[in-house]
Amino acid sequence: VSVTIKQVAREAGVSIATVSRVLNGTGPVREETRRRVLEVSDRLRYVPHIAARSLITHRTQTVGVLLPDLYGEFYSELIRGIDSSARGHGYQLLLAGSHGSGSDLEAALRATRGRVDGLIVMSPDVSARKLQANLPAELPVVLLNSPVDRPPHQVLRVDNHGGASSMVRHLASLGHRRIGFVKGPAHNLDARERLRGFREALREVRGDASPSLIIEGDFTEDAGHRAGRRLLELARRPTAVFAANDAMAIGLLSALSDAGVRVPQEISVAGFDDIPLARFTSPPLTSVRVPILELGSRALELLLARLSEGGRRGERLEVLPTALVARGSTGVAHA
């Protein structure tokens, strides 16, 4: 169907080896020959067959991206970061989402054999051991927010703990001591680290550590909404609520609005991630900025570095800083 190198060679009156050399810029070629080959190749709209090439070169110019899920703005930003960086370096993206269960991850991993040069894997939910067992040893891998941190894998993390702590300190500086927290999924590393940061900082500022102030959640708007209702039923309401991600904070805002509770006059609300939408909730959401786009592009860069590394070993763990972004949803504690 498509035009092959053979046709270009015949048409240009040279061997396929020469065509290959011209197109790859390898080896010496007479200028006139070069021009002729290029002219024919353009005219025939020849595009090299990558699969054939990669069989020999062992390079596919493709990066596999395995994500636990694809729901929501977080992932689209992450993918955007990876994609824009990949594009810049001439790489394609093979995407696989929703490997919720371990066997899905394994299947997705297997399916990438021979089609990618490296892997970016985000798997905050899977146990470290399981992950280790499934990762192909021969492929460079960058792990995002993963519980694994031993070589030979590069790990890129977000400073979840530090971000959560600084939010608590921010709230404390506004006078809050009774602070509700809406948790993320129990097996999710990000969620656990955020909870840990919350707890430690709360102790530091001598906040109220009542268990009733900590509500279950799963990172969805719905969970935030439910958590909001539960918190409102408390005998002693918190003066502020910190949700482990923005989606839940948005659900929280919605529940408070439904109940006629004013934010931040009666209750302050804070989130985590600082998704693009956070600026546009009412009131605008105070959050912890996670450089999602950068997380994606940096992951790709680390992977490319490993690809060209050739055995050299560098840092294995990199942590991206977070930043507190104070907006209208947090204010001084009322009572």
Partner DNA sequence: CTGAAAGCGCTTACAG
**Residue 175 near a second copy by CB under 8 A:** no
From CA 121, how far away is CA 139, in angstroms rounded? 12
Candidates 25, 26, 45, 211; binder of DNA (CB under 7 A) is 26
Measuring CA to CA, how many Å separate 139 from each of 94, 118, 134, 209?
15, 6, 12, 45
Candidates 14, 22, 66, 96; binder of a second copy (CB under 8 A) is 96
Candidates 27, 35, 43, 47; binder of a second copy (CB under 8 A) is 47
Candidates 7, 54, 132, 166; binder of a second copy (CB under 8 A) is 54
**Residue 282 near a second copy by CB under 8 A:** yes
Candidates 284, 294, 307, 320; binder of a second copy (CB under 8 A) is 284
What's at 167, amino acid-wise? M
List the single partner that 276 binds among DNA, a second copy, none, CB under 5 to 8 Å by kind.
a second copy
Q: Which two tokens stand for residue 133?
A: 């067992």
Nearest to 232 by CA among 260, 204, 209, 210: 260
**Residue 92 near DNA by CB under 7 A:** no
From CA 254, how far away is CA 135, in angstroms rounded? 41
Site size for DNA (CB under 7 A): 31
Which residue number, 91 or 198, has a Cβ lying nearer to DNA?
Answer: 91
Candidates 53, 169, 177, 327; binder of DNA (CB under 7 A) is 53
Nearest to 179 by CA among 237, 226, 219: 237
List the single partner that 20 binds among DNA, a second copy, none, CB under 5 to 8 Å by kind.
DNA
Which residue number, 15 or 84, has a Cβ lying nearer to a second copy?
Answer: 84
Instruction: Please choose, out of 54-62, 165-173, 198-206, 238-246, the segment that lies near DNA by the rule CB under 7 A.
Output: 54-62
**Residue 38 near DNA by CB under 7 A:** no
**Residue 209 near a second copy by CB under 8 A:** no
- How many beta carbons lie within 10 A of that of residue 174, not counting itself? 17
**Residue 103 near a second copy by CB under 8 A:** no
From CA 171, how far away is CA 229, in angstroms rounded? 21
Contacts with 211 (C-beta within 8 Å, 6 or more apart), sequence order: none
Q: Is the CA virtual torsion 67, 68, 74, 75 positive or negative?
A: positive
From CA 260, how far away is CA 140, in angstroms rounded? 53
Which residue number, 51 or 209, has a Cβ lying nearer to DNA?
Answer: 51
Cis peptide upstream of residue 284 (ω within 30 degrees of 0): no
Which residue number, 13 or 276, has a Cβ lying nearer to DNA?
Answer: 13
Candidates 39, 55, 98, 259; binder of DNA (CB under 7 A) is 55
What's at 162, amino acid-wise? G
From CA 299, how far away is CA 141, in angstroms rounded? 10
Nearest to 116 by CA among 96, 97, 146: 96
Q: Which two tokens stand for residue 96?
A: 């696989």
Query: Which residue shows structure tokens 């070589």?
Result: 151
**Residue 112 near DNA by CB under 7 A:** no
**Residues engaged in binding DNA (CB under 7 A):** 4-6, 13-21, 23-24, 26-30, 32-34, 46-49, 52-53, 55-57
**Residues engaged in binding a second copy (CB under 8 A):** 1-2, 47-52, 54-55, 60, 62, 70-73, 75-77, 79-80, 83-84, 87, 92-98, 110-115, 138, 221, 224-225, 250-251, 253-254, 257, 276-277, 279-284
